[in-house]
A and B are shown apart, each in its own frame.
Chain A
Amino acid sequence: MHELELVNVCKKFKEKTAVQDITIRLQHGVYGLLGENGAGKTTLMRMICGILEPTQGSILCDGMRIQQMGGAFRSLLGYLPQDFGYYEDFSAYRFLHYMAALKALPEDYARDRIDELLEVVDLEAVKHKKLKTFSGGMIRRIGIAQALLNNPEILVLDEPTSGLDPKERVRFRNIISSLGKDRLIILSTHIVSDVEYIADQIMIMKNGKMIRTGTEEEIAGNIKNCVWKCLVSEKEAMRLNENYIVSNLKNQGDQVELRIVSEEKPVPDAEQLAMTLEDIYLYCIQND
């Protein structure tokens, strides 16, 4: 098992600071990285994988700088980028073999591993078809397969479930959950439910900064009793939407059911509800 440590990591692009002063230690388990578009999640993931050099700070694996480790670090790594590039005229099978060669896997091992992973991601039947014929979800599944080729100790997945249908998403969650026991997995997503059930630790980013880290309970802190359900008129719903964090809005005839995250009771007859990770995330993003 390996430990990753980020020490005062920053990344600046011309005039924009994408990642600001992040210091964090990551050990085994599943880490869910949440944040809005432009929060810096992808930049952070790229720096962890050694693709981008930090402008300041350092990233250490077991105490050694990952740049110094070079191929030794990359051999521990499995990465699925958000925008996953591939050669369109490659078949799935050829693509996985090519990635296996880039990961320096012996051919015999690669062959068995590819057959195994194609079954796991349910693409065995189409392995000889060209990638340009694949749907977005199928491409994503091939991406997941290639990330697992070298049985990585550190798995970095950037929006891995985008394009997957609910059944595929559940399947993916189960795979990740089983892998997370004895390796380090960092999973970034917009879809809170992807991490809600499987992440051991949550990290929330906003404007390049890590605003919250910890387990769901730790992040929730003293905001446990802050989720309310209320049934109001449309006009009242508009007013509440402007003044409070509304995590869900549902029309029910001529009334609107709102799910509000607030320390104070938004309306007198609001009913208290149990907090979910999505509520915590919305609360942290709006208030930090």
Chain B
Amino acid sequence: MKNRKDHDIKEKFRITDRLMQIDENRKRESISLLQNKINEKQINMAHHGRKILLQQVRYMDKLIMITQIVLYVIVVIIAIMMRQKGVLEEEIILFSILISGLFGIISIAQISRIFSSGIAELSESCYFNVKQIVAFQLLISGVMNLTMLFFVILFVGLFWKIALLQIGLYILVPFVIAQCCCLKALLLEIGRKNSYLLIIVGIFITILYIVIASIPRVYQLTALSVWGVSFVVGILLLGMQVRALFEGIERGDMLCMN
């Protein structure tokens, strides 16, 4: 009975629809207008998204980033001075190893502030959650540091006539290892609650690098394979730790201070 009624109603609509004359030009104009409105909204949303990201950069905590930039300026000045003074190859390599270790520590310090300040729990409830914020900050920090390190690699390689691959390994291995050690500290609860553990790890790494860099054998060509393997292992370890960090953030245990 109900089906019959529905059928009758639909049939009446079909009959009256046949009598309606559709103006194809107006139809085309309306579709075009709708499409323009949709495109406009998409552009606004994209523009809106870019503006929001810029807003985040404008208002985010930039203490560590400013420290990084100041450090870059100091590094450039010292590197130029060392070039002018004509320091030995071993000395510039030691300097490069130390600064790359420092950059590695600072890149993790940037994100450790999110946890040690206690803002992680609150941030997780926002549209851009902690995972996205950490990824964003690691990306900015990583791009800045790698750009600076490549500058150092080129500068040292060209002026001290050291193979770029060789100096690249001498710089990138300490950078990656420093990040691994600091990230490990951050994955520990005590490391997240206060920054002192990170500072201690940083000091330990610096001393270790000074010791390693003072051994002449590490600069021999035969040792390059060790550097190469260390780099690969370091990258793998770093990848695993970054994954552990994001998994911990997703579970939520890392975000709450109590």
Q: Could you tell me which A residues sit within 8 Å of B by CB distance? A: 13, 46, 49-53, 71, 74-75, 77, 79, 81, 83-90, 94, 97-107, 110, 146, 150, 156
Q: When the two chains form their complex, are residues A101 and B59 in contact, meaning their CB atoms are under 8 A apart?
A: yes
Q: When the two chains form their complex, are residues A86 and B52 in contact, meaning their CB atoms are under 8 A apart?
A: no
A184 to B: closest C-beta gap in Å = 15
Q: List 23 A-B contacts (CB under 8 A).
A: A13-B253, A46-B121, A46-B256, A50-B125, A51-B121, A51-B252, A53-B251, A71-B127, A75-B127, A83-B118, A85-B117, A85-B121, A88-B117, A90-B61, A98-B59, A101-B52, A101-B55, A102-B56, A102-B133, A104-B127, A105-B52, A106-B48, A156-B125
Does B190 interact with chain A (Cβ within 8 Å)? no
Q: When the two chains form their complex, are residues B252 and A97 in contact, meaning their CB atoms are under 8 A apart?
A: no
Q: Could you tell me which B residues sit within 8 Å of A by CB distance? A: 48, 51-52, 55-56, 58-61, 63, 113, 117-129, 133, 250-253, 255-258
List, in ascending order, chain A residues with CB within 8 A of B257's CB. 83, 85
List, in ascending order, chain B residues with CB within 8 A of A103's CB. 126-128
Q: In the assembly, what is the distance between CA of A50 and CA of B124, in Å?
A: 8
Nearest residue, chain A, Cβ from B258? A83
Q: In the assembly, what is the distance between CA of A230 and CA of B256, in Å?
A: 45
The 8 Å CB contact of A84, one of B51, B63, B122, B252, is B122
Q: In the assembly, what is the distance between CA of A13 and CA of B52, in Å?
A: 36
The 8 Å CB contact of A51, one of B52, B119, B128, B256, is B256
List, in ascending order, chain A residues with CB within 8 A of B258's CB. 83
B154 to A: closest C-beta gap in Å = 36
Nearest residue, chain B, Cβ from A110? B55
A99 and B126 in contact, given A53-B250, A106-B51 (Cβ under 8 angstroms): yes
The 8 Å CB contact of A98, one of B51, B60, B125, B127, is B60
Nearest residue, chain B, Cβ from A150? B127
List, in ascending order, chain A residues with CB within 8 A of B48's CB. 106
Q: When the two chains form their complex, are residues A87 and B56 in contact, meaning their CB atoms are under 8 A apart?
A: no
User: Which one of B51, B121, B122, B257 has the greatest number of beta carbons of chain A within 10 Å?
Assistant: B122
Q: When the two chains form their complex, are residues B117 and A101 in contact, meaning their CB atoms are under 8 A apart?
A: no
A113 to B: closest C-beta gap in Å = 13
Nearest residue, chain B, Cβ from A90? B61
Q: In the assembly, what is the distance between CA of A79 and CA of B122, in Å?
A: 7
A87 and B124 in contact, given A46-B256, A51-B255, A101-B52 (Cβ under 8 angstroms): no
A270 to B: closest C-beta gap in Å = 42
List, in ascending order, chain A residues with CB within 8 A of B55's CB. 97, 100-101, 107, 110
- Contacts A87-B117, A90-B61 aside, 13 further interface pairs with beta carbons under 8 A come to A46-B121, A46-B252, A49-B124, A50-B125, A51-B125, A84-B122, A85-B119, A86-B122, A97-B55, A101-B55, A101-B60, A101-B128, A102-B127
Nearest residue, chain A, Cβ from B56? A101
Q: When the two chains form their complex, are residues B121 and A81 in contact, meaning their CB atoms are under 8 A apart?
A: yes
Q: In the assembly, what is the distance between CA of A103 and CA of B51, in Å?
A: 13
List, in ascending order, chain A residues with CB within 8 A of B253's CB. 13, 52
The 8 Å CB contact of B126, one of A81, A83, A102, is A102
A74 and B127 in contact, given A85-B119, A104-B52 (Cβ under 8 angstroms): yes
Q: When the two chains form their complex, are residues A74 and B129 in contact, meaning their CB atoms are under 8 A apart?
A: yes
Q: In the assembly, what is the distance between CA of A103 and CA of B52, in Å?
A: 9
Q: In the assembly, what is the distance between CA of A46 and CA of B117, in Å?
A: 18
List, in ascending order, chain A residues with CB within 8 A of B129's CB. 71, 74
B100 to A: closest C-beta gap in Å = 28
A52 and B252 in contact, given A83-B257, A83-B258 (Cβ under 8 angstroms): yes
List, in ascending order, chain A residues with CB within 8 A of B61's CB. 87, 90, 98
List, in ascending order, chain A residues with CB within 8 A of B59's CB. 94, 97-98, 101
List, in ascending order, chain A residues with CB within 8 A of B133's CB. 102
Q: In the assembly, what is the distance between CA of A77 and CA of B126, in Å?
A: 7
List, in ascending order, chain B residues with CB within 8 A of A101's CB. 52, 55-56, 58-60, 128
Q: Which 10 A-B pairs have the closest CB atoms?
A: A85-B118, A52-B252, A79-B125, A102-B126, A98-B59, A101-B55, A104-B127, A85-B119, A101-B56, A97-B59
Q: When the two chains form their complex, are residues A77 and B125 in contact, meaning their CB atoms are under 8 A apart?
A: yes
The 8 Å CB contact of A106, one of B52, B58, B60, is B52
List, in ascending order, chain A residues with CB within 8 A of B118's CB. 83-86
Q: In the assembly, what is the distance between CA of A210 and CA of B121, in Å?
A: 24
Nearest residue, chain A, Cβ from B113? A87
